Amino acid sequence: EISECLVGSEMCIRDSNGGANAGILAAKILAVSDPELLAKLKAYSAEMKDGVLKKDAKLQECGYHNYTK
């Protein structure tokens, strides 16, 4: 069993994030023939990217010692 895996990564399906990767991979497969689903996946990816960028900005500002405080 894989214990660490990033959400959104196609590299693992059985992991510690509650099956999110498997769901995303399944949605990507279905989106090949569903333009509405594809648009939703692109929006979700953009939201994830924005979240990572915000976390990075906070980390850069306060440093890793103070990040979770």
- Percentage of the chain modeled with pLDDT above 70: 74
Mean per-residue pLDDT, 11-25: 67
Assess whether pLDDT exceeds 90 at residue 27: yes
What is residue 43's predicted lDDT score, i.e. its pLDDT? 97
Q: How far apart are CA 50 and CA 29, in angstroms?
A: 24
Average pLDDT, the chain: 82
Assess whether pLDDT exceeds 70 at residue 9: no
> Which tops the pLDDT comparison, 28 or 18?
28
Q: How far apart are CA 14 and CA 46, in angstroms?
A: 24
Model pTM? 0.66
